[in-house]
Amino acid sequence: MTDIALRGVDGLKVDYLALVRRRRMYSGLLLVLFVALLAGGFGLADSRNAGGFWGGLTQIFDFPVELMREAIDKGAALPANLWRYLPAMIETINIAAVSTLLGAVLAVFLSLLSTRGLARWPRLMPLFRRVMDTMRAIPEIVIALVLIFVLGGGPVPAMIAIAFHTAGALGKLFSEVNENADLKPIEGLSSVGASWFQRIWLGVLPQVMPNYLSYALLRFEINVRASAILGFVGAGGIGAELRVAISWGTGRYDAAAAIFLLLFLTIVAIDQLSSHVRNRLVGGH
């Protein structure tokens, strides 16, 4: 016998309104918790901060202002500086590109192997997930420092370090994309007797490719910055130059400004490229 017959519509209304009240209470509690966490976290950060947050706030712009002032003073040298640091910038972009590519290819496999409904060996899904977690947990700089110690300085340790971290980070994002893939086409391919690789290649990748690509390009952008930072610890590229320019004390801020400008232009270029390529892929004509 149905609820309706037993209790009538009014009974249903009472039940549903009780449900609504319960949900509203939970959302209210969640909101309170959120605000409390935010306030608590801020308080903690403020008390741990060496100089105190509020005291330091007024000085926050001192460094950029000084940098800008000097860069403007020596504005005439900017084109020469840009030209001078371009090769180092290209080296950094190179490191980022190769490591993004390597990491992304690895991430595609890892993510497919750890997505429910798509995994080749469903039993091993937890293993691949933990592998990705591990890769993501270790910061690039730690891997790079170890590798530099073993292999010596240069771009190769940076490449391996960034690719390793990228595989874990992109793998996570890719598997979320995979989760949202429509399984109907894959079922369709199964029904014609397609192998796992055929199903993935022909049924899944066409659906997920645009999202893969835009995540990979976002990662490329992050990796440009990561590879610049790794330059600080001996991996070459623009980071090494920036370290010299920034820590030389006074007198080299014009070079630092040129390097920041190069980094900025690179990010803008990647962003433009990313939206252009994505539109082409999604439009699909």
Partner 1 sequence: MLKILKVTRRFGKKIAVDGVDIEIGDGQMVGIIGRSGAGKSTLLRMINRLIDPTEGAISYADREVSALRGAALRAWQRDCAMIFQQFNLVPRLDVVSNVLHGVLNRRSTLSTVFSLYPTEDIHTAIDILDRLGIADHAAKRVEALSGGQQQRVAIARALMQDPKVILADEPIASLDPMNAQIVMDTLRRIHDEDGRMIVCNLHTLDTARRYCDRVVGMRDGAIVFDGVPDELTTSVARQIYGAGESFSEASTSTSIEVLEPIREPVREPAYAV
Residues that bind partner 1 (CB under 8 A): 2-4, 9, 12-13, 15-17, 19-20, 23-24, 27
DSSP result, 123-168 = GGHHHHHHHHHHHHHS-HHHHHHHHHHHH-SSHHHHHHHHHHHHHH
Rounded Cα distance between 238 and 260, Å, is 10
Residues found in the chain? 285
User: In terms of CB distance, is 2 or 47 closer to partner 1?
Assistant: 2
User: In terms of CB distance, is 5 or 50 closer to partner 1?
Assistant: 5
Rounded Cα distance between 243 and 263, Å, is 14
State the minimum distance, in angstroms, from the CB of residue 16 to partner 1: 5
Nearest residue to 154 (alpha-carbon basis) of 244, 241, 230: 230
State the minimum distance, in angstroms, from the CB of residue 102 to partner 1: 37
State the minimum distance, in angstroms, from the CB of residue 34 to partner 1: 14
User: In terms of CB distance, is 3 or 62 closer to partner 1?
Assistant: 3
State the minimum distance, in angstroms, from the CB of residue 135 to partner 1: 31
User: In terms of CB distance, is 23 or 276 closer to partner 1?
Assistant: 23
Residues in contact with 136: Cβ distance below 8 Å, sequence separation at least 6, in sequence order: 165, 168, 169, 171, 172
By the 8 A CB rule, do 104 and 166 touch? yes
State the minimum distance, in angstroms, from the CB of residue 1 to partner 1: 11
User: In terms of CB distance, is 133 or 176 closer to partner 1?
Assistant: 176
**Residue written as tokens 């391919």?**
189
User: H/E/C letters for each residue in 158-198?
Assistant: HHHHHHHHHHHHHHHHHHHHHHCCCCHHHHHHHHCCCCHHH
State the minimum distance, in angstroms, from the CB of residue 200 to partner 1: 25
User: In terms of CB distance, is 24 or 120 closer to partner 1?
Assistant: 24
State the minimum distance, in angstroms, from the CB of residue 193 to partner 1: 20
Rounded Cα distance between 263 and 274, Å, is 16
Rounded Cα distance between 47 and 42, Å, is 9
User: In terms of CB distance, is 16 or 248 closer to partner 1?
Assistant: 16
Residues in contact with 63: Cβ distance below 8 Å, sequence separation at least 6, in sequence order: none
Q: What type of residue is 16?
A: Y
User: In terms of CB distance, is 22 or 280 closer to partner 1?
Assistant: 22
State the minimum distance, in angstroms, from the CB of residue 280 to partner 1: 17
